[in-house]
Amino acid sequence: MSAEVDLLLQEAKESIEAAQNYRSELQLRLHGLNQARKQVRGSSSQAREALQRHFSELQSSACRLLEERLSALLQEVDNIEAESIKPLDDCQALIEHGVGQADELLREGEAALRCGLGEKEDKLGSFTKKALHIQLDSLPEVPALVDVPCVSAQLDDSLLGALKEKVSRHGSVSSYPPVQIEELQERPGGVLVRWCKVDEDFAAADFRLQWRRSGTGGSQYEDAYIGREQEFLVLHLDAHTDYQFRVSARGEGRTEWSPWSIPQTGSTTLAAHEWSPGTEGYVLSSRRNIALRNDSVSRCCVLYSRAPTYFCGQTLTFKISAVGAPDHRDSLGVCVDDSRGQESLQRDQAVCISTNGAVFVNGKEMTTSCRRCVWARP
């Protein structure tokens, strides 16, 4: 009976433990659902705000442009009217002056005809001289209507149709960004970011990668890379610190960038590579990641990394920016420990490649040596 009770007790404990695990898994899935719901609602809200802001700015700009164009056209009408009316006003003033002279001459002629015989001869003579002076046979020319401007406005009704077509195709709404980050790999002092297209119909010409420090004290996103490649190594990052990365794309022949991918958080536990300071014959840069060999020193020891920052499975590359006089002992490689005072890596517990392409393992040249090498900086 006691064995049966112990068995039932054990089964009960296992069931309780299974129920607890089951509850924990369900709670994790609920948290995931809440995050998904938050992303859908948050992104939808941001999309609404972006659409409303953009179209409000477009509406204001369009109204302003139409008002400016209307004002310019009205000013053209005013200028044409002013330039065309001035010669007509001048002609009218000349004709009105002639009418006034004719009225005055008529009054004098009628008075001369009505005067007595004693003064009629003088009056008529004075009238005749004045009539000759006015030149009654000279009339000002009045322009024909075909020679006078007839102002009109030419308005292209197709503008509204073209505008309607443009507006109907302006902007778009998508459920997913065309590119997404697919992998984050830690590197010494950095993170290798890889991304891919999720919309095969989107013809991407360039990609744009940005990063920022995570947390409440996070900074603004900064550009890390713009180009055609679909991976980039972001360097100069602090170890054990979370960073957010996002990527967007630009289509062929387009100037605007696509929506950003969903930000991914990544970090590195590996400290940035540094050369060990104080090695005779070498001068280091401020970050200690670039070394310059001093050829004036007769004896030049091996330059080691400051710490074992590389591990199995990682790719180790070097970049040679400049070369001087070669030496048969010159080589690049990896070793188990830093044996101070050594003048070459062609020794035990080391793998190196010499300047002529020979590969040495534990100080012995391998028969399958590499005679063509590509150098790159880590």
Please give the full DSSP string across 158-210, using - where no structure is assigned. Answer: HHHHHHHHHHHTS----SS-SEEEEEEEEETTEEEEEEEES-TT--EEEEEEE
278 found inside a domain: yes
359 found inside a domain: yes
Asked if 227 and 298 sit in the same domain, the reply is no
DSSP 204-267: EEEEEEEEEE-STT----EEEEEES-SEEEE-SPPTT--EEEEEEEEETT--SPPPPPPPEEE-
**Residue 136 pLDDT class (50, 70, 90 cuts):** low
pLDDT at 273: 79
Cα atoms in the 13 Å half-sphere on the side-chain side of 108: 16
pTM for this prediction: 0.57
- Residue scoring higher pLDDT (161 or 286): 161
71 found inside a domain: yes
Asked if 323 and 355 sit in the same domain, the reply is yes
pLDDT tens, 347-369? 888 888 887 778 888 888 887 54
Structural domain containing residue 377: 273-378
- Characterise 103 by phi-psi region: left (phi > 0), alpha (psi -120 to 50), beta (else): alpha
Asked if 228 and 301 sit in the same domain, the reply is no
Asked if 241 and 279 sit in the same domain, the reply is no
Burial 274-302 (b: 16+ CB within 10 A, else e): bbbeebebbebeeeebeeebeeeeeebbb
Bridge partner residues of 360 (DSSP): 352, 365
Domain containing 252 — which CATH number? 2.60.40.10
Asked if 90 and 183 sit in the same domain, the reply is no
- Residue scoring higher pLDDT (287 or 202): 202
- Mean of all residue pLDDT scores within the chain: 83
350-354 and 231-234 beta bridge pairing? unpaired
Q: Name the packing angle between helices 2-114 and 117-134 (round to 10°).
A: 140
Q: What is the tally of structural domains in the chain?
A: 3
pLDDT at 247: 97
On the question of pLDDT at 372 being above 70, the answer is: no
On the question of pLDDT at 283 being above 80, the answer is: yes
- Residue scoring higher pLDDT (72 or 122): 72
| Helix H or strand E segment including 61 | helix 2-114
212 found inside a domain: yes
Of the given ranges (1-5, 170-174, 258-262, 334-338), which has the lowest mean pLDDT?
Answer: 1-5
pLDDT at 137: 65
d(CA 88, CA 329): 101
pLDDT at 288: 81
59 found inside a domain: yes
Asked if 90 and 118 sit in the same domain, the reply is yes
pLDDT tens, 204-256? 899 999 999 987 665 799 999 999 999 999 988 988 999 999 999 998 888 88
Radius of gyration of the chain from Cα atoms? 47
Asked if 212 and 279 sit in the same domain, the reply is no
Query: Contact at 8 Å (CB) between 294 and 304?
Result: no
32 found inside a domain: no
**Residue 1 pLDDT class (50, 70, 90 cuts):** low
